[in-house]
Amino acid sequence: MSFDSLGLSAELLRAVSDQGYSEATPVQREAIPVILQGRDILAGAQTGTGKTAGFTLPLLQRLHTNPLPGKGKRPVRALILVPTRELAAQVGESVATYGRHLPLNSAIIFGGVKINPQTQKLQRGVDILIATPGRLLDHVSQRNVDLSTVEILVLDEADRMLDMGFIRDIRRILALLPKQRQNLLFSATYSSEMRQLADSLLHNPAQVEVARRNTPAERVGQVVHHVDRERKRELLSFMIGSQNWRQVLVFTRTKHGANRLSQQLEQDGISSAAIHGNKSQGARTRALADFKAGEVRVLVATDIAARGLDIDQLPHVVNYELPNVPEDYVHRIGRTGRAGNDGQAVSLVCVDEHKLLVDIERLLKRDLPKVVVPGYEVNPALRAEPIRKPNNRSGSNAGNRPNHARPGSRTKPGAERNRSPRQASRRARPAG
């Protein structure tokens, strides 16, 4: 189905065409007409299916076709909440790209960077605000933003926000919004907690689900290589070199592990950079830009990169270490096989991770193919060792969360701390 059959305006169709798109994805075909009708929506779609455009395009049209009278300061009319800085930047780019021919403006706010430039932009007035929850509450506490005029609320990657302990922040933000509004909830996976949030937030929603829950993209080939824990790095370097992989996203569990692996790959002659929560926003942005430009061959990341990274035609994702939460496996490998492209997901699994692999296969409802790489056979004499879990549930280093200071306090970039959702709920809040 083409975009011009979905009821979008000429300005939006022109912007879509500028990007080289003509055919809508399944989630776009189902979501856009419903949102244009003004209905609430609960959408479940595997990552990489175009859901950002699925809510951005109709949101822009609804605001444009229902302009506010007067010429005063622009009130915030649409609020898009996201869990991470990277996703905020990606969504903000989509809003700017698709809204380029409309007289609407937007702002992106998240933690880990100076607050003053954000404050100045908010004070000038914005139509669409893309924000992480903690930093948004910082601005609310400093009276930089008024949310009482919001007409459309979007929760993007809602399950990830719950994983990261943002539920209290979300409920505080909801209390600041007008009761009469349109609510759009998008998520790659569902949980009972997220279902409870949806039940309390949405009014008679249309439900859109274009893939079975918790399923990876169909075009992603998956394989498991069993290998001894001490030979993982050697095997990774061998595969990258022997198969001439030019762009590889590699996931580790911890920030320290990401730094160490990146340094080891550099010693092996493979250009590499690490991205995680202890990196400043500028360092993270530069590393991602270099990776996209092909100047860095391998990007080593914690689960902070499992959502919100939009890399065109990324061919390879490697689970150097399996995640502790099975759903995060789906999010990780969803970075490849996007927008109809093929991708490959490789998992290096040592004896310590057998239970994690079983949990992932149970979630996927199928066994993953196992392939032994000649020369890297497992030593049967090795015994499993306990896996030290990261401090937060998802295993990510959620770098958009500075330390849990009082509302309105300022935080230096890179001052993030890991917290579990339970820890987060006992503290003031996780900042965005």
pLDDT tens per residue across span 245-280: 999 999 999 999 999 999 999 999 999 999 887 888
Q: Which fold has domain 3-209?
A: Rossmann fold (3.40.50)
**Whether the predicted pLDDT of 145 surpasses 70:** yes
Instruction: Write the CA distances from 375 to 225, 235, 268, integer angstroms.
Output: 12, 9, 18
The stretch 151-174 carries a mean pLDDT of 90
Query: Confidence band (pLDDT; 50, 70, 90) for 348?
Result: very high
Q: Lay out the sheet containing 78-81: strands in order across.
A: 106-109, 128-131, 78-81, 152-155, 182-187, 41-44, 206-209
Going from N- to C-terminal start, the domains of the chain cover 3-209, 220-364
Do the domains spanning 3-209 and 220-364 agree at the CATH topology level?
Answer: yes
The region of weakest confidence among 13-27, 266-280, 300-314 is 300-314
Q: What is the pLDDT of residue 425?
A: 38
Q: How far, in whole angstroms, is CA 68 from its chain's centroid?
A: 32
Cα–Cα distance, 408 to 10 (Å, whole number) = 42
In sequence order, which ranges of 66-166 are alpha helices (DSSP H)? Answer: 85-98, 116-124, 133-141, 158-163
* CA atoms in the 13 A half-sphere facing the CB of 301: 29
At 392 the pLDDT is 42
Q: What is the mean pLDDT of residues 321-332?
A: 88
Among 344, 299, 347, 359, CA closest to 320:
347
Whose CA is closest to 115, among 89, 82, 96, 140?
A: 140
Q: What is the pLDDT of residues 398-428, one digit of tens each?
A: 334 433 333 333 333 333 333 333 333 333 4
Q: Quote the pLDDT of residue 113.
A: 87
pTM across the whole model? 0.67
Identify the three-state secondary structure at position 171: helix
Q: Which residue has the higher pLDDT, 188 or 255?
A: 255
pLDDT of 84: 86
pLDDT surpassing 90 at residue 21? no
pLDDT at 189: 72
Average pLDDT of every residue of the chain: 84
Give the right CATH number for 220-364 from 3.40.50.970, 3.30.70.360, 3.40.50.300, 3.40.50.720. Answer: 3.40.50.300
